Copies of this chain bind each other. A is one copy, B any other.
């Protein structure tokens, strides 16, 4: 990668910033496809977010901004227009400058999840889904599943009103049966998704009781750390399909690229994302996945 005065600039904005992966991921894509552009990390505090985002988009050589924690909800109010998925989930992953100068926001976390299911041959259309968690990841996933034809979406969160609020937002926007689940019991669901932080820390309780999963049910754990997570291990021990969160990240890449008008790279990565997987997947996880 060679940066010159004519290189187009993208930012990923987060606080803290060290953990963001977008620079590695997309600078690799730019290199692979000969795109003269760079993704740069910018550590923006919540109180500076509005002014900074506006200032960056005043610069004509800035083509887009990726948003990470904690700015995804705030971007919804700064952007002039947002996609339905972004509005329903209450979060924005990326902002671009439209030809008329307006700032447009969209959300890809949920669609990335759906595409990750497809890659793992886990069906979701017409299926009953239990989501553990009602935060940012769960909201994005619920909205995307609703948009993509799941039959039933139940949301469990220990903070019961959060689950009810998310279910209400989904039900308002999409014709899908959706509700707050009374418990985290996975019995009776085709797909159970851990979209909570449970499993990030050693000693966390299981997000739900794997022994209660239906035969033939699938599990998806959005966590990226400590792979393979205890949840994935125990689901696989029951010979159930169980997928880690990394593929969500991989499957989002073409969506971002297309959003930013980089169609050739988007199609290329859709066709072959092996370079991204080599970068993102932990080596031990790849070994486990191949072994299982």
Residues of A whose CB lies within 8 Å of any CB of B are 1-7, 9, 12, 14, 17-21, 23-24, 27, 38-45, 48, 51-52, 55-56, 58-62
In addition to A2-B24, A48-B55, A48-B59, 8 A-B residue pairs with Cβ atoms within 8 Å of each other are A2-B27, A3-B24, A3-B38, A5-B19, A7-B23, A7-B41, A9-B41, A52-B56
- Sample (18) of A-B pairs whose CB atoms are under 8 Å apart: A3-B24, A3-B40, A4-B23, A5-B17, A5-B23, A5-B41, A6-B17, A6-B41, A7-B23, A9-B42, A38-B40, A43-B62, A44-B58, A45-B58, A48-B55, A51-B55, A52-B55, A55-B56
Asked whether, in the complex, the Cβ of A6 is within 8 Å of the Cβ of B18, the reply is: yes
Smallest CB separation, A278 vs chain B (Å): 14
Q: Is the CB of B40 within 8 A of A9?
A: yes
Q: Which 4 A-B pairs have the closest CB atoms?
A: A5-B20, A43-B61, A3-B23, A55-B55
Number of identical monomers bound together in the oligomeric complex: 2
Which residues from chain B contact A58 at a C-beta distance below 8 Å? 44-45, 48, 52
Expressed in whole angstroms, the minimum distance between the Cβ of A95 and any Cβ of chain B is 15
In angstroms, how far is the closest chain B Cβ from the Cβ of A42? 5
A246 CB to closest chain B CB, in angstroms? Answer: 17
Hey, which chain B residues are within 8 Å of A3, CB to CB? 23-24, 27, 38-41
Taking the closest CB of chain B, its distance from the CB of A25, in whole angstroms, is 10
Cβ contacts under 8 Å, A9 to chain B: 40-42
Are B61 and A17 in contact (CB-based, < 8 A)? yes
